[in-house]
C-alpha cells in the first residue's frame, strides 16, 4: 500500500512535468490515462469525478451566499464569525450525507486544525500553484487519483475580489484584529486575484 502510494505520487509528478511540455488539451487525457492505469479499470473514475464536482458545487453554493449575506448584514467581522461556524458545519453535513470525507485545505491554512494538508494534498496543491503559474485558470482546475483503496479528488479554489477582504494583503484593521483573535496562527493572507487560495479535498473509500 505504501509503495503504491509513493508510486502514485511519483506518477503525479511525472504527469505534472509532462503538463509543461504538452498542450493543455492533451493534459487531461494524460491524467485520464494515469487514472485508468492506477484504477486498473475497476472503477468508473469519471462518474466519481462527476459526483465529487457536485459535492464541491453544493459546498461552495451553500457557503458563498452565507458569506455574502453575513457581510451585507453585519460587515466583514460578522462574516468572519459566520464563516468560522458555518464552513466546518457544511463540511460535516456534506461528509455525513454523501459518504465522502469533505474538507478544504491550503498550503497557507487559516484554520490549522481542519485545513492543514496531508502529504498527498500538499503535492497536489503545489501542482495547482504550478499550473496556475503556467496560465491555467483556477476555476476548472482539478485532480483526482486512486490512492491505495481510496479515491481522492481535489478542486482548486481561486481568489476573487470578495476573498481579498479577508485573504488579501491590505486588510482593514478590524478584520485583522478579528482574525488574530480567532486564528492566532493564521497564514491565509497576502493573496492576489487569481491565486490558488486552496482546494476542496474529497476522499471516498473504494
Q: Which residues form the interface with ligand HEC (CB under 6 A)?
A: 67, 76, 79-80, 83-84, 87-88, 104, 106, 109-111, 114-115, 157, 159-160, 162-163, 165-167, 188, 197-198
Q: Do residues 190 and 85 lie in contact, with contact meaning Cβ atoms separated by under 8 Å?
A: no
In the complex, least distance from residue 201 CB atom to ligand HEC, rounded to whole angstroms: 10
CB atoms within 10 A of CB 139: 11
Question: Closer to ligand HEC at the Cβ: 27 or 195?
Answer: 195
Question: Closer to ligand HEC at the Cβ: 39 or 60?
Answer: 60
In the complex, least distance from residue 46 CB atom to ligand HEC, rounded to whole angstroms: 25
Tell me, letter by letter, the H, E, C secondary structure of 50-119. Answer: HHHHHHHHHHHHHHHHHHHHHHHHHHHHHHHHHHHHHHHHHHHHHHHHHCCEEEEECCCCCCHHHHCCCH
What's the length of the chain?
206
Question: Closer to ligand HEC at the Cβ: 95 or 165?
Answer: 165
Question: Closer to ligand HEC at the Cβ: 84 or 132?
Answer: 84
In the complex, least distance from residue 89 CB atom to ligand HEC, rounded to whole angstroms: 9
Amino acid at each position: 500500500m505504501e509503495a503504491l502510494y509513493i508510486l502514485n505520487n511519483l506518477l503525479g509528478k511525472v504527469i505534472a512535468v509532462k503538463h509543461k511540455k504538452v498542450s493543455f488539451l492533451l493534459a487531461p487525457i494524460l491524467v485520464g490515462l494515469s487514472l485508468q492505469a492506477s484504477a486498473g479499470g475497476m472503477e468508473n473514475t469519471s462518474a466519481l469525478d462527476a459526483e465529487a464536482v457536485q459535492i464541491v458545487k453544493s459546498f461552495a453554493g451553500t457557503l458563498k451566499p452565507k458569506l455574502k449575506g453575513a457581510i451585507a448584514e453585519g460587515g466583514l467581522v460578522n462574516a468572519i464569525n459566520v464563516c468560522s461556524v458555518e464552513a466546518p458545519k457544511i463540511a460535516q453535513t456534506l461528509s455525513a450525507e454523501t459518504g465522502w470525507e469533505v474538507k478544504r485545505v491550503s498550503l497557507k491554512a487559516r484554520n490549522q486544525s481542519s485545513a492543514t494538508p496531508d502529504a498527498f494534498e500538499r503535492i497536489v496543491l503545489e501542482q495547482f500553484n504550478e499550473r496556475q503559474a503556467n496560465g491555467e485558470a483556477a476555476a476548472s482546475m482539478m485532480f483526482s487519483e486512486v490512492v491505495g483503496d481510496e479515491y481522492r479528488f481535489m478542486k482548486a479554489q481561486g481568489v476573487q475580489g470578495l476573498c481579498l477582504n479577508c485573504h488579501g494583503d491590505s486588510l482593514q484593521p478590524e478584520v485583522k484584529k478579528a482574525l488574530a483573535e480567532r486564528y492566532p496562527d493564521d497564514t491565509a493572507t497576502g493573496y492576489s486575484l487569481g491565486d490558488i487560495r486552496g482546494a476542496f479535498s474529497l476522499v471516498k473509500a473504494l
